[in-house]
Amino acid sequence: MKLKSGTSCEDESRIAWLTLKLISDLGNRSLLRLVRHFGSPVAVVNAGPKEVAAVPGLREQAAAALLKRQLLRAPEEEWESLQREGVRMICLGDPDYPSNLKAIPDPPAVLFVKGALEPRDLVSVAVVGSREASPTGMAFTERLCADLARSAVTVVSGFAVGIDRAAHCGALKAKGRTLAVLGCGLDVDYPRGSAQLGREIAESGALLSEFPFGTPPAPMHFPLRNRIISGLALGVVVVEAAQRSGSLITARFALEQGREVFAVPGPASHFRSAGPHSLLKQGAKLVENVEDILEEIRPLVKPSPEMERRPEAKLKGVCPRPSVTPEEKALLDVLDHTPRHIDDICRRLQWPVSQVATMLLSLEMKGIVQQLPGKHFMDAAAPAET
């Protein structure tokens, strides 16, 4: 792989990631398998036929695609285009890669991001539903997402027309954060006429895609997008969806990823109620207002000043903590109100994962530590930041 003079090691790694992303017929799972086998994207790009053939479990089609190097376009040009358009690449293994997303079985190797991802986006809820939503469904979604945003919850959705758009707009009207996951390249005008909304989202959150520039909104891309929507969030709310819809695919991904699933009921005879009602029959939590969601994720939520003024938000007494061992005390010292992944805890303490897992279980049984989706943990009694 030839790079321009003066290219830094970090840029070389980024361009290697781009090279792999721009190879046609090389899917995300195969890409991850290759990087894990060779240790880095640069090593994958430089691997020869014998080395590639030795990768266990790699599909023949993927190996052939890698060796043929049939690129959609030159990776150096793509890299310059990303920089020119203000789009960041966040790669699996980067410190700012979303930890919720990293925990799913098939995390995107690369995220293209316009805007900013922040640590508080760990506390997020996805809201999805029909493109052909009713006025009632749109209004309910906008109010719900405004309330989520006022409660310091980031709203995630898929940037489609209908319920998705109402979700983003509700969060924006409440001056909250929202993340939009696209099923096409970030430079593609889809849905048409949504450019202004995209700019507003990038200023108050981020637009994300795993697809390179120029990638069209092909039908096969949306299920891939849906796993990212659910993977970023602690739970998925479905508002108005037919029995066979992308929203139910997102809910299925949420279940597979260990996320909460919520559903908004509707008129019994309406076809858009079939999806949420099916989820409710399977055990999804019924949502009538924001409190139905917050009570499931409340330990993660830092209330806004407006929410703090509400009577129900007044502080209550705190019970004394059970006694802890010196080792448990050392572990608690690295925990606070911010959820931390078990790998991060192990790195901070320099303890083996088996020891940390055993102690976390003990502290969880004592009610001192709370476990969250994706192997995240937090001090259950830590005060919120002020």
Task: Give the position of tokens 């970030």.
Answer: 186
Q: What is the mean pLDDT of residues 365-377?
A: 79
Instruction: Output the CA–CA distances (angstroms, integers) from residue 383 to 123, 228, 294, 299, 300, in the order listed.
Output: 16, 31, 17, 10, 11
Q: Of 5-9, 157-161, 220-224, give the lowest mean pLDDT range.
A: 5-9
Cβ(183)–Cβ(222) under 8 Å?
yes
Q: Is the pLDDT of residue 309 over 80?
A: no
Residue 68's closest CA among 24, 10, 130, 18? 24
Q: Is the confidence at residue 55, as pLDDT, over 90?
A: yes
* Domain shared by 169 and 279, yes or no: yes
Whole-number pLDDT of residue 381 = 66
Provide the residue range defining the domain that includes 32. 9-73
Confidence of residue 312 (pLDDT cuts 50, 70, 90): very low
What is the tally of structural domains in the chain?
Answer: 3
DSSP per position, 314-336 = S----PPPPP--HHHHHHHTT-S
Among 73, 90, 124, identify where a domain stops: 73
Helices 195-204 and 163-173 cross at an angle (nearest 10°) of 50
Does 319 reside within a domain?
Answer: no
Provide the CATH number for the domain around residue 180.
Answer: 3.40.50.450
What's the rounded Cα separation, in Å, for the pair 202 and 208? 9
> Are residues 132 and 62 located together in one domain of the fold?
no
Residue 93 CA to residue 58 CA, distance in Å, equals: 21
Per-residue pLDDT tens over the stretch 89-132:
999 989 899 989 999 999 999 999 999 999 889 899 999 999 99
Q: What is the pLDDT of residue 106?
A: 94
Residue 236 CB coordination number (10 Å): 29
pLDDT computed for residue 204 by the predictor: 95
> Which range is least confidently modeled, 19-28, 71-80, 321-330, 332-341?
321-330
Buried b / exposed e over 38-63, threshold 16 CB at 10 Å, is: beebbebbebeeeebeebeebeeebb
The band of 5, judged by pLDDT with boundaries at 50, 70 and 90, is very low
Q: Does 316 map to a domain?
A: no
Residue 310 in domain: no
User: What are the CA-CA distances from residue 103 to residues 100, 121, 232, 252 (Å)?
Assistant: 6, 15, 9, 16
pLDDT in tens, 273-298: 999 999 999 999 999 999 999 888 87
Number of neighbours of residue 216 by Cβ within 10 angstroms: 11
Rounded to two decimals, the pTM is 0.78
Same domain for 138 and 45? no
Determine the 3-state secondary structure of 150 from DSSP. helix
Give yes or no for residue 20 having a pLDDT over 90. Answer: yes
> pLDDT tens digits for 189-237?
999 999 999 999 999 999 999 999 999 999 999 999 999 999 999 999 9
Two tokens at 212?
């390179």
Ramachandran angles phi, psi of 345, nearest 5°: -65, -45
**Per-residue pLDDT at 186:** 98
> pLDDT band for position 300 (50/70/90)?
low
Any idea of the CA torsion for 341, 346, 352, 357, to the nearest 10 degrees?
-40
For the segment 319-336, what is each residue's pLDDT rounded down to a tens digit? Answer: 455 678 888 899 999 998
Does residue 163 register a pLDDT over 60? yes
Q: From CA 375, how far away is CA 275, in angstroms rounded?
A: 29
In the structure encoding, which two tokens stand for residue 170, read together?
């509700």
The verdict on 221 and 348 lying in the same domain is no
Residue 90 lies in a domain: no
| C-beta separation of 144 from 237 below 8 A | yes
CA 153 to chain CA mean position, Å: 13
Q: Report the pLDDT averaged over residues 60-72.
A: 91
In a domain, residue 88? The reply is no
pLDDT above 90 covers what percent of the chain?
68
